[in-house]
Amino acid sequence: MIYFKFMRIYNISTIYLNRFYNLNYFRILLLNIMYTPFLANTTNFPFGIEVDRAEGVFIFDKSGKKYFDLIAGIAVSNLGHQHPYIIDQIKKQINKHLHVMVFGEYSQSIQNRLAEEFTKLLPEELNCLYVVNSGTEANEAALKLAKRATKRSRIVSFKGAYHGSTHGSLSISGNETKKYAFRPLLPDVFHLPFNDTDALDFIDHQVACVIIEPIQGDAGVRIASKEFLQKLRKICDENCILLIMDEIQSGMGRTGKLFAFEHYGIVPDILTVGKAFGGGMPIGGLVTSQKLMSLFTVNPTLGHITTFGGHPVSCAGALASLEVFQMENIVENVEKKGIYFEKLLKHSSIIEIRRIGLFFAIEMMNADTVQKVVEGCKENGVLSFWFLSCPESFRIAPPLNISYVEIEISCAIIQKVLNEINV
């Protein structure tokens, strides 16, 4: 209990004192006390929960306190925590073998089975899977493949986009506050306004690829219009441009379809996946045609190579996750649950709810209000979160197999917090 009292003091003191003073040294000192001086931190304001275990839609801290997990690891745990079937399949693979060789050099049955079963669920054009370590790596590889295929260098992305934090993926992301300290980044990258159909006329035959999130996650659940994406697809076809759809966050059932592009009647040339793809295990992938993917094998050979990509244990988790999606008919209930969630979240302090499936951005008056809501929910046993590029909204993205009773209880807690903060 001492730890949690200290965390509360830390969060309150550093947030409010920092408005008047530069207290970086003070915050870092406290972090070293709370955690360990040997482990890197990504922020001076960590969320401050010491996890003991997780099960279903719940996370339990070291004190035994139970939290409704409405974040799902930022849309990773789409099937909740510790799904028994996924755990069982992971254990079976562990008992067979772990890493044996870099991706592509040895034939491994679990990789082969994953690729076969996954591509069966996709349009016939997307028939070849390259398994990597993360969604960000998938985006990096997709950019390389596009340049290799088209022999062009120009890349088009969109304002508000988030595609990762590595050098290349950061270059194509749209939040300048996360980029300026690391410039110069990749050249020949152009950012167009998202959902602006007229702006697409900028794209011409000099472009190698266009990369887009059909649902911008980090920008606060910004949903592309059908007109916008269909025009983008047409322009790419007319100019022999590869269309890359980053569905790292919007994929694996989050929007009420297995992938968001299915809402739009189009098919990308390259699909990138990650997050929920692994059923809780670290994995990513890019999917395209056999013909296009074969370009990685020549001029040069090993056009993309990854030591731990396609790790057998991660592949076991991913394959088991696909099987659960089908066995439990997960996707067919996502939109119904999203509608129910939205109905229960009505409150006078909420300015706007942007939602598709179980993918929510709840817009409040300002960032300070969001901070109060997120902290208040945490204190009352509900985990929500904020967006990097949309500070005036908070995030809800629960496990897709959350029950209607669990939706009711967690929404009642959120309503209680909204009433208490008096906005």
Tens of pLDDT, residue by residue over 74-106, are 999 999 999 999 999 999 999 999 999 999 999
Q: Are 159 and 309 in contact (CB under 8 A)?
A: no
- Give the C-alpha separation, 24 to 367, whole Å: 21
Average pLDDT estimate for 340-369: 97
Whether the pLDDT of residue 251 is over 90: the answer is yes
Alpha helices in 213-351 (DSSP H): 226-238, 290-293, 312-327, 334-344
The secondary structure element, H or E, covering residue 379 is: helix 367-379
Assign 1 a pLDDT band (cuts: 50, 70, 90). Answer: very low
CATH of domain 84-327: 3.40.640.10
The secondary structure element, H or E, covering residue 370 is: helix 367-379
User: Is the pTM above the cut of 0.85?
Assistant: yes
For 31, the 3-state DSSP assignment is helix
Could you check whether 49-78+331-420 and 84-327 share the same CATH topology? no
Percent of the residues in the chain that have a pLDDT greater than 70, as a whole number: 91
Residue 277 burial (10 A CB sphere; 0-12, 13-18, 19+): buried
Pairing state between β 154-158 and 207-212: parallel
Query: Mean pLDDT over all residues of the chain?
Result: 92
Whether the pLDDT of residue 42 is over 90: the answer is no
Ordered by start, the domain boundaries in the chain are 49-78+331-420, 84-327
Residue 346 burial (10 A CB sphere; 0-12, 13-18, 19+): exposed
For 297-336, write each residue's pLDDT tens digit.
Answer: 999 999 999 999 999 999 999 999 999 999 999 999 999 9
Output the six-digit token pair for 137. Answer: 């790596």
For 256-271, write each residue's pLDDT tens digit.
Answer: 999 999 999 999 999 9
CATH of domain 49-78+331-420: 3.90.1150.10
Give the pLDDT confidence score for residue 423 in this predicted structure: 53
Assign 48 a pLDDT band (cuts: 50, 70, 90). Answer: confident
Give the pLDDT confidence score for residue 35 in this predicted structure: 60
CA angle 357, 333, 79 (to 5 degrees): 80
